[in-house]
Structures are given as structure tokens and as C-alpha cells.
Structure 1
Amino acid sequence: MTNQLVDTFLKKYNQQPTATYFAPGRVNLIGEHIDYNGGLVMPCAITAGTWLLLTPNNDNVIRFSSVNFNEEGTFPVQKRYTKTGKEWYNYPLGVFHELQDGEWNASGLDLLYFGNIPIGSGLSSSASIEVLTAFALNDYYGLEHDKLELVKLSKKVENEFIGVNSGIMDQFSIAFGEADKALVLNCDTLKYKVVDCDLGDYVLAIINTNKRRELSESKYNERVEECNTALTALQKEINITNLCELSAEKFALHSHLIADETVLKRATHVVKENDRVHLAAKALNAKQLDEFGRLMYASHKSLKDLYEVTGKELDAVVDFCSSYEHVIGARMTGAGFGGCAIALLKKGYEEDFAKKLTDDYVAKVGYPAAIYVHQIGDGVKKIAD
């Protein structure tokens, strides 16, 4: 793949790239919509991701191009940039904007991106681009930021430059992921543990509903505000800074403070989902995959009934998985409103699962889903010359 990208780069820019970098996508195994509530999440990096090839130019401009998109962007080297619209290159442009806000002065640069993460699928294609660009520029120019600083910078791009009030999980897992490991990340303190993710006789199937979601145009920001409303109500009696400081038991004692029924449902999901991550980590450590699978199903039900972010497409996938004897757990992953689900599928049944799920999904939804299996891979890195 890298050789093909080098050829594309050469045709595009009439010169060889001088460096190549890769950043993965991610799936969240459990712990959804609690990253921006200071909770625990359990993401892992996957082997699908985004590649970046780059080389300097003498034209004092930054040129963005992609194998995946027709839109190209050319910008003069300057201190600050402004989001141009919905074009894909606003994600790397935002990284330049944030880095230029410091003492670094960029030079002309030609960049080519390629990704094999389905766009809008909930596997963090945007965060992959952000972390990849930040890591590449940091390495290429010797800026000496550590990975955590690059993660925070990438999150700032997503929140302030792009305008999506997401948490830090996506960028963190893309930067710190390890092969065959899951991360248990505290999104409040940013402390994390690495958990062996030995799936034994099972594989991680990723099912793309092929319903694309535009996160910044979805009800994601509305959910963030509903959680903030719940937090404000609870703070009338208890001293907390985020919802996930509460156990389910303590939340039950104070939930009467939340008058709005919808807001109460949102907060109930957040608190109980945080507890599920604790239990899931214990299950993985004990190699109790059946229990882990049960928690996955419980997570999806909560996201459907209490947080209301699934939709008929994701529900159709998980409903089929619950009836398929060789799947022991399934749930939506990512922000929802479309995107992907994941399932723990018995090895050797990949083809049978794909065929039967496709038939069932087409009958219910009207078009096919995409099913693939990825390994749990490493985080962002430079590819050796």
C-alpha cells in the first residue's frame, strides 16, 4: 500500500515524499457517551487507519490532498487559519492552526492522505487525521511535544476549530493504543491502564450500518448539554465536577433533583455505563468473555432506551447478533446515530455471519451493511523509510 501511495504522491507533487506516518482508527469496546462526563472508557486501536505522506515545498504554501476525497486545499503559510466549511482538510488545517499558535513557524509543505476507515462510520476517521497530522508535524519539525500534549491539541481542534463537543477518548486511544490490548481510560484524570484483550476463540467483528452520520450536525451536542443540565441539578446538593464521580447507589439517592424526565434518563445511562466499564475490565482480566458479552448487550440497551442514540439500523444489527448463536456480545460503538456496531463472533463463522446478517439487515433496512474483521493494533507511528 505504501508503494502505491508513493506513486500517487509523485504524480501529484512531482517529487518523492520524505516521510510517511500512520494513525489507526479505534473502536470503543464499552463505555459510550461518558468520556465527556469524566468516566471510564475501554477503547482499542484497530489496524485500519490513515496514512500521511509529506515533503517540503519552496512555495510557502501548505497543500492538502487525499486519495479519498476530490477536494484539495492550498493555504499560504501564516499564523492563524479559519475553518473553511465542511471540507475534509479542515481537520489537518485545524492542527496547523493550533501548532502555529505556539512558537513554531511552519514552512511550505505538500501532504497526501489516504484512509481505509469508512468515513462517518463511528471509527474515528476525523480523530485519526488530527492525531496523525499533529504527530507527523511534531516529529518532522522536532517540536518535542509529548504524546499527551498532541492528544490534547487534537481534541482542541475537534472542539474549537471543527465545533464538536467531543471528549478525549478518540484521540487518546489513537495515540496510545497497543496491539492486542484495550485501554481503560479515566477521561477526567487521563490516567489509564492497559488490559490484555485475549479474545480466545472469538474475533471482533465490525459491522458498518452504512448509515453515515455527520457528528457535528447530529444530536451529539444536545446530549452533552443534557448531561450538563443534570450535573447542575445534582450540584445543588453534592459537590461533584462530573456525573461519573457518582456510583449508581449515590446517584439513586440524589436523582430526585433532576426534574426533567429526559435529562434523568441521560444521567442514568452515564452513571450505569461507567459502572459497566469497571465490570468489563474485571471480566477481561478473568477471561470471562461471556460476562463481557453480556455487558456489551446491556450497554447497547441503555444507549437505545435511556440515551436514545442508536436508531433502527444499529438496533437491527444488534438484534440479529442476539439471535445468532455464535455471537456472545454486541453493541453500537462510537457516538451512534448510525455508524458501526461491534460483535464478539466465534472464529470460523465469519462468512456465515456476514451472509445471514446481510440478508436480515437488507430485509429490515433496505440496503446492505458492511462486515469486516480488524485486529487490535498499535497507535500512531512513523513508518520506517
Structure 2
Amino acid sequence: MVANEILHTAFSESFGGHGQLYTAPGRVNLIGEHTDYNLGFVLPGAINKGISVAIRLNGKNTYRVQSLDFKEEVTFAADGQKLPVAWANYILGVVMEFHIRCFAVPGFDAVFAGDVPVGGGMSSSAALESAFAFAINDLCQFGISRRELAEIGQAAEHKYAGVRCGIMDQFASLHGERDKLIRLDCRSLDYELVPFRLTGYQVVLLDTRVKHSLASSEYNTRRAECEAGVKSLKAIYPEVQSLRDADLPMLEAVRSQLQPATFTRCQYVIEENARVLNAITQLKTGDIAAFGQEMFASHEGLSKKYRVSCAELDLLVDIARKCGVTGARMMGGGFGGCTINVVAESALAAFLQEAERSFNAAFGRAPLVYGVKISDGARRV
């Protein structure tokens, strides 16, 4: 996380005095990709990288926000007008969602910075939304639950960033706990904290340094394809409200009515939901090897059936398999970003060396390496 002194100094220089500090983390998702907006199951955890904000009410009707990372400052009102600065729309969206729920947010001054790599699949946008939602709720003493704060962040992303994301990222950022993953039912939003203390293993992300140039448009396309599958399923099976309610025999029964791509998208989602539940059982019984195989199977489905991987991600997963990594897969929306790897500490150095060598030979650069720890969610500092 960003050092408190940096934010205090920047706030004092820009606005005078001090603001209250808050922080919200990014997240990793061990398994369960693209299942959240299909109302299925996911297994994320908050991480020790996030967005930190210094904020203070200013007694005005305007909001002044400065980004240290982008070296930009914006001033806006709660009028719903989208802003020309992309990052500011996430914050505007959060403010507007409070207003929609009849919680009038007074004006504030804020400075924020983060260490979540943008475009790495660790959900820097959800961390930004969650940091501001948590801070506003605490400063104004609105008493809104963390669950509703996650819904506020999700709605902000839908309406102001144009990405029809599920709720997993915001939920994990707000509900995370150290050394625990979150088994989240994305339909009911019931959740269970699953212990994740892997003695002798590390969670390591390898960043392809490919940004998600296709992610937003293809994300919305995948969502539409899944909705088309549900529509055909529902015509025969009225109980199917989402792919969460379907199984493979049901999908096979409507195969002739679906475009081939739609069939394979739906097939992946149904299979991935089953993998998440299997993976949780394996974690609880301590079968880390079986857990890792579910991760590899998840990547295979994402690459071959859901078609959201890319050559760089596929190569890193192949290297992981050849190097004896316990489990690996792409993480996030796809088309770039990171792979997530569960690696025995004894195999880590050789894996990273081979990944650098082979990736550099193929693409002319080395992947970036991030070690992450499962950490606490949004909080006042």
C-alpha cells in the first residue's frame, strides 16, 4: 500500500491541513472467472496492494480529487455529467450512486494513489471505487453495509465506465480478510471465508505487460452470449434464471438452437462453477495438488472455450505446467494482464528463471513478477 506520509504531504500541499486516510485493496481470484455476472461462484481474496485516499469534507457542493499516479486533478459536481478524465468517472459514479440511494454526499477534497498495477487483472478500478465508497460512508456516518457499498461500486462501473462487471471485485475489496479467501455466491451474495494458509507455497502473479485492449468490448460480448444461452434454456427449462441454474445435459438439449460460440461460452461457465466448488472442497481437505489441477483446467476452458486468453497468457501457463507449478491460470477479464500461480517455494526460483527466459525468447521482454499476500479489505487507516 502507498505510504501514509506521501498522501499526507500531497494533501497538505494541495488543500492545506490533513485528510483522513482510508485504503481498499485490489484482489486476486484463485478460481471462478467470468462466473460472477452469470450469478455463479467465485473464490477471490483481497491482496496487499490497493488504493489509498486522504479525504476531508470541504463544506462546498463540489468535489476536488487529485490522482498522484496520473498527476491530474479534477473538480466536479453531483450532476451526473461524465468527465473527460477516465479515472474520475469511477469516483463520480460512486458519488452519484449514494445520491440515487438518497444519501446526499457533501463536497470533499481528496488525494489518492495506489500500487495496484493498472491492467494487471487485480482490479484497480474496484479498489478505487471501494476506497471512496468506504471513506464517504464512514466520514458521513451513513451506516451503509459493506454489501451495499459493493453494489454501489458495481453500479458505478456499469453506468460510468461502461463495463457490465459482476460484483466479485468490489465485494472482495470490501469483505477481504487476511489469509482467507471468499467463497461468494454471486446470486444471493452469501459468502463463506475459506482459510488459505498454504505453508510452503507462494501466490505469484506474472504480468504479460499486455494491456486489456479488447477486454471491455469482448467482456460485454461474452455477457450477451451467456444471456442468449439462458434465453434458449429458459424456453425449455423455466427454472433457469442464469447459467448457475443449468447443467451440461440441459445445455446439450438446446445445442441446436445456439450459435456454436454461444454453446461453448455457456459450457465453460457451467463447468467453471463446478470447478470452484470442487476447489473449495480440496482446499478444506488440504489437497493442494488437486486444487492446482482445477486451476489448470480453468485456464484451459478460458483459453479454448471462453476465448478470452492470448498467446502471452497461454505461454506462461504452459511454462508453469512444465516447471511443476502446482496450479496456474489467467486471471481477470482476459486478453492480457496476469497469470496467477500457486508455486511450491522449492520450485519458485527455477520457475521464474524459465518464465523469464522463454517469455523473452518469444516476445522480446520479460514478464513482471508480483508476489501477493491475502490481506484485509477496505478500512480506515
SS at match of 2:8: helix
> Counterpart in 2 of 1:365?
363
Change (3 A) 1:34 1:289: same
User: Residue 71 of structure 1: CA displacement?
Assistant: 2.6
CA distance in 1, matches of 2:92, 2:167: 19
Structure 2 regions of 5+ residues with no counterpart? Answer: none
Aligned length: 378
Letter in 2 for 1:302: G
Moved more, 212-221 or 173-182: 212-221
Moved more, 24-33 or 360-369: 360-369
Moved more, 201-210 or 292-301: 201-210
> Counterpart in 2 of 1:38?
39
Structure 1 regions of 5+ residues with no counterpart? Answer: none
User: Residue 215 of structure 1: CA displacement?
Assistant: 6.6
- Does the Cα contact within 8 Å between 1:258 and 1:264 map onto a contact in 2? no
User: Residue 349 of structure 1: CA displacement?
Assistant: 4.5
CA distance in 1, matches of 2:8, 2:285: 45
User: Residues 140-177 of structure 1, C-alpha deviation per residue, up to 9 Å, x if partnerless?
Assistant: 01111111111111111111222111111111111111
Q: Tell whether 2:91 aligns with 1:89.
A: no
- Does the Cα contact within 8 Å between 2:11 and 2:111 map onto a contact in 1? yes
User: Residue 217 of structure 1: CA displacement?
Assistant: 3.7
CA distance in 2, matches of 1:189, 1:59: 39
RMSD: 1.6
- Does the Cα contact within 8 Å between 2:46 and 2:176 map onto a contact in 1? yes
Map 1:343-358 → 2, pairs under 5 A: 343-358=341-356
User: Residues 295-325 of structure 1, C-alpha deviation per residue, up to 9 Å, x if partnerless?
Assistant: 1000000000000000011111111101113
SS at match of 2:192: strand
Letter in 1 for 2:194: V
> Counterpart in 2 of 1:47?
48
Letter in 2 for 1:371: V
Letter in 1 for 2:167: I
> Counterpart in 2 of 1:62?
63
CA distance in 2, matches of 1:116, 1:13: 23
CA distance in 2, matches of 1:23, 1:349: 32
Letter in 2 for 1:247: D
Q: Tell whether 2:125 aligns with 1:126.
A: yes
- Does the Cα contact within 8 Å between 2:215 and 2:335 map onto a contact in 1? no
Letter in 2 for 1:362: N
Map 1:43-192 → 2, pairs under 5 A: 43-58=44-59, 60-76=61-77, 78=78, 80-85=79-84, 87-192=86-191
- Does the Cα contact within 8 Å between 2:55 and 2:109 map onto a contact in 1? yes
The sequence identity of aligned pairs, in percent, is 34
> Counterpart in 2 of 1:16?
18
Moved more, 204-213 or 243-252: 243-252
- Does the Cα contact within 8 Å between 1:83 and 1:162 map onto a contact in 2? no
- Does the Cα contact within 8 Å between 1:120 and 1:212 map onto a contact in 2? yes
CA distance in 1, matches of 2:296, 2:257: 27
- Does the Cα contact within 8 Å between 2:233 and 2:250 map onto a contact in 1? no
User: Residues 209-230 of structure 1, C-alpha deviation per residue, up to 9 Å, x if partnerless?
Assistant: 1111157643110000111111
Letter in 1 for 2:21: T
Change (3 A) 1:20 1:195: same
